Amino acid sequence: MKVLLIEDELAAARRLTKMLQEIDPELEVLECLDSIENSLNWLVDQPAPDLILMDIHLADGSSFEIFQHVRIDSPVIFITAFDQYALQAFKVNAVDYLLKPIKREELEEALARVKRLMKVERINYEQLAQAMQQGWNKRFLIRLGQNFRVVELKEAAYFYTESKITFLITRGGKRYPLDYSLEKLEEMLPPDQYFRINRQFIVGIDAIQEMYSVSKSRVKLQLDPPSNMDTIVSTERSPVFKKWLTGHE
């Protein structure tokens, strides 16, 4: 488990680090941050930790301000000398609220609660992955900077690679980058709806507007929305492509 500490008292941070490692020697404390500013910079630049232990009163203000500027999906355990912030803590999805001086058994119980939460989330993820293997992908989660967008499969006209990046083109002509290779997409897409015509393109049956013969064995496709790249079915794929068009295996 990778843990981030946000605590401005050096002695308290050292004591907490020692206690954490005594409870779980495999636990890794990634960093100990002492201010809102340092915490925001770290959370923006680094991968999310498995757990955040966060003091409420920091040198430059209340740690609740952090949640106003950055999204935190990691479970949070608040540590404080005051008990009046408990309700506010749980409004930002804290998994526990520990009063200083922290007792070892309370911290141990809080860590056990986090591990149970992580186990449930892992099971849910594995179930989702298994379901995806048994069926075809119905939508794509696309990251655009700090934002995410869901694109339904029915919106996807075709896929292609350019400069080692895979793109999805929607029926409306919008282009989105994907984190999948064309090889992986072939496993995720329903084969009666999408076909790999060459090394660069997977096309949807509904995106094909016209077809032209460019040689005895090769076919050029006119797609909607239009593509400024050559969409020619490769020689080795052409016989399978013609069967695919007619719905034959």
Q: Does the 2-132 domain belong in CATH 3.40.50.2300?
A: yes
Q: Where are the domains of the chain?
A: 2-132, 139-245
85 and 94 Cβ atoms separated by less than 8 Å: no
Decide the pairing of beta strands 51-55 and 76-80.
parallel
Q: How far is the C-alpha of 72 from the C-alpha of 119, rounded, in Å?
A: 19
Side chain identity, residue 119:
K
pLDDT digits (tens, 9 = 90+) for 146-172: 667 788 888 999 999 998 899 999 999
pTM: 0.49
Q: Is residue 141 very low, low, confident or very high in pLDDT (cuts 50, 70, 90)?
A: confident
Q: In the CATH scheme, what architecture does the domain 139-245 have? A: Beta Barrel (2.40)
For the chain, the straight-line distance linking the first and the last C-alpha, in angstroms and rounded, comes to: 48
pLDDT digits (tens, 9 = 90+) for 50-99: 899 999 989 889 999 999 899 888 888 998 887 777 667 766 767 788 88
